[in-house]
Amino acid sequence: MESQTAPGLHVAIIMDGNGRWANQRGLPRLAGHRVGVEAVRHTVEAAPGLGIKVLTLYAFSADNWRRPPREVSALMRLLGHYLTQETDRCIATGVQLEAIGRRDRLPASVVRMIEDAERHTIGGGKLRLRLAIDYSARHAIVEAASRAQGQGAEAWSKLLGPDVDLLIRTSGEQRLSDFLLWESAYAEIVFTSRMWPEFSARDLADAVAEFHRRDRRFGAIAGSNSRRTA
């Protein structure tokens, strides 16, 4: 069961554009994914200083299984490498790492690495880093419905995860792609043309600054029970 979010922002990012970034440079698609890992590292390092308490990254969607088997295998190896390399860094910097999504279709070696990373970083209190792997929001909602057993929206939210405050999508695409649909009901959304391998700590700070400039009304009218994000 997902725990409720602690004070601080929940930022979710659809990390898009790795393959196109590589294609534009005449490089193999996997080169874009490798550089994208560096963007993940910069983003995780910058997040706590920007008031982000929960960071959810869309690493591999349920639809990504449709990609060529060779690319999928390479992505799984890259994911395993990331988990192995970053677990110690997460421990040292107070980052709690967890994965959301299905695990029954992942390679057994990757599942073991996920479980090891989750177990060893469980005490991290600086940032809750959630990797969405083999993730589909529709599937997650169906699973929550089967477990909620007639309970209300609060129970559903505990099963699915904390509400998203800010959702960012890179590469210029403007769609949610089956990502955190329930949790993003009132999320502020920032679309950027920046490809994910180019995404920097400065880009994250700019998106958070844009979030704080917005007036979040949650269905009310300005001047009643609406509130600014700052």
CB 34 within 8 Å of CB 78: yes
- Whether pTM > 0.75 for this model: the answer is yes
Regarding predicted confidence, which is higher, 151 or 29? 29
pLDDT of residue 70 exceeding 70:
yes
* C-alpha span between 132 and 147 (Å, rounded): 20
CB atoms under 10 Å from CB of 85, counted, come to: 11
182-213 pLDDT, tens digit per residue, is 999 999 999 999 999 999 999 999 999 999 99
Q: What is the mean pLDDT of the chain?
A: 91
* C-alpha span between 163 and 187 (Å, rounded): 8
Topology of the domain comprising 9-228: Undecaprenyl pyrophosphate synthetase (3.40.1180)
Check residue 155 and give its pLDDT: 83
Burial 41-78 (b: 16+ CB within 10 A, else e): eebbebbbebebbbbbbbbbbbeeeeeeeeeeebbbeb
168-181 pLDDT, tens digit per residue, is 999 999 999 999 99
DSSP string across 26-38 = T--HHHHHHHHHH
Residues recognised as catalytic: 16, 64
The one-letter amino acid at 159: L
Domain ranges (residues) in the chain: 9-228
CB 201 within 8 Å of CB 45: yes
pLDDT of residue 227 exceeding 60:
no
The one-letter amino acid at 181: L
Check residue 222 and give its pLDDT: 64
Check residue 158 and give its pLDDT: 85
**What DSSP state is assigned to residue 176?**
-
Check residue 230 and give its pLDDT: 40
* C-alpha span between 199 and 151 (Å, rounded): 40
* C-alpha span between 27 and 33 (Å, rounded): 11
3-state helix, strand, coil in the chain (%, to 5): 45, 20, 35
**Banded pLDDT at 91 (limits 50, 70, 90):** very high
